[in-house]
């Protein structure tokens, strides 16, 4: 009973950016602004995808799921980060750390698979235009979204549980700004080589496998457009796929640097700043990228704005 109570009361120290105290105020303001923009931008995309009849398509169905993932992902990390940046105490309770570990890993893994699903949708739109509605039917869309969410949940149940069961022998200092697997397994007071190998294999499956599927999808898209030999086809394909490609490049470019080579000096030195990018900045950029590059979203926003104006008059 005493052991259980002490475990519940245990706190972890999130070192975060305390080693660069001169940057904390700047990081706080940047993170706060990004978080507000993330909430507003992604909520707008979810609302217009739900309300606007012209956006009742597979692309926006998956985009609304991506926005929901981004809102939940940043919310699992940012409030605690802001709290720690403002005060001298850099602590998080053991329960809070476990919740953050499970939720953030589930959502990050879900996003990896969801981006691959969205690439398949773009492949169907460009390469199978005449059969697009039949291929991307509502049942398949729901199944693919379900696979993305379930893969995230399955991954975190395995990875997070294994990580939390490692003996820590009183080690509480996490050299990061949130509870994540690569940082937490370093607290273990046993040989963690097997855990690092297992994490590497899981990262290969949930990072490189979806990325490979994305590259295969875009390989087929490029071949299809080249066969048409039309500048208009290139423009249409770029308009259809450009936003997704930018989001994929930013997300995978940063997250692979942490999870594929967690022990490299590069990941150790710049890891917190790279993590800040994919946990805070990328969810902010997603709605901006999709809105600025997408005439359908801009049209839906105009219709929504004009309808609100009309109702006030």
* pLDDT tens-place values along the chain, 313 residues long: 444 444 445 789 888 887 778 888 899 999 999 999 999 999 988 988 888 777 788 888 998 999 999 999 999 999 999 999 887 778 899 999 999 999 999 999 999 999 999 999 989 988 888 888 899 999 999 999 999 999 999 999 999 999 999 888 878 888 888 998 888 888 888 888 888 888 888 888 888 899 899 999 988 888 888 877 667 767 766 766 777 888 888 888 888 777 766 554 444 556 788 888 888 988 998 888 877 656 666 677 677 666 655 555 5
Set out the domains of the chain in order of their start, with CATH numbers: 8-312 (1.20.1070.10)
**Which helix or strand (DSSP H or E) is residue 200 part of?**
helix 193-203
Q: Is-contact 164 105, C-beta < 8 A?
A: no
- b/e string for 243-269 if b means 16 or more Cβ within 10 A? bbbebbebbbebbbbbbeebeeeebee
Residue 91 main-chain phi, psi, to 5 deg: -100, 160
Sheet arrangement for strand 91-93 = 91-93, 11-14, 173-174
């Amino acid at each position: 009973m005493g052991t259980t109570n002490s475990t519940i009361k245990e706190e972890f120290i999130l070192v975060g950016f305390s080693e660069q105290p001169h940057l904390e105020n700047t990081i706080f303001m940047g993170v706060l602004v990004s978080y507000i923009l993330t909430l507003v931008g992604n909520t707008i995309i979810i609302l217009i995808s739900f309300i606007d009849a012209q956006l009742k398509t597979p692309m926006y169905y998956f985009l609304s799921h991506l926005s929901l993932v981004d809102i939940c992902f940043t919310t699992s990390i940012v409030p605690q980060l802001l709290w720690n940046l403002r005060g001298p105490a850099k602590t998080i309770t053991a329960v809070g750390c476990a919740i953050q570990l499970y939720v953030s890993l589930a959502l990050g893994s879900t996003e990896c698979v969801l981006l691959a699903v969205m690439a398949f949708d773009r492949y169907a739109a460009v390469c199978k235009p005449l059969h697009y509605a039949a291929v991307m039917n509502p049942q398949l869309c729901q199944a693919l979204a379900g696979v993305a969410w379930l893969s995230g949940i399955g991954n975190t149940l395995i990875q997070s549980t294994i990580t939390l069961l490692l003996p820590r022998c009183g080690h509480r200092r996490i050299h990061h700004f949130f509870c994540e697997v690569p940082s937490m397994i370093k607290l273990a007071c046993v040989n963690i080589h097997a855990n690092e190998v297992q994490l590497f294999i899981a990262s290969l499956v949930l990072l490189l496998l979806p990325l490979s599927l994305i590259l295969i999808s875009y390989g087929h898209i490029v071949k299809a457009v080249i066969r048409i030999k039309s500048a208009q086809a290139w423009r249409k394909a770029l308009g259809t796929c450009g936003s997704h490609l930018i989001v994929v490049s930013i997300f995978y470019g940063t997250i692979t640097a942490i999870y594929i080579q967690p022990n490299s000096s590069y990941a150790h030195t710049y890891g917190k700043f790279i993590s800040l990018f994919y946990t805070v900045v990328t969810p902010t950029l997603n709605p901006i990228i999709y809105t600025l590059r997408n005439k359908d979203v801009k049209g839906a926003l105009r219709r929504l704005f004009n309808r609100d104006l009309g109702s006030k008059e």
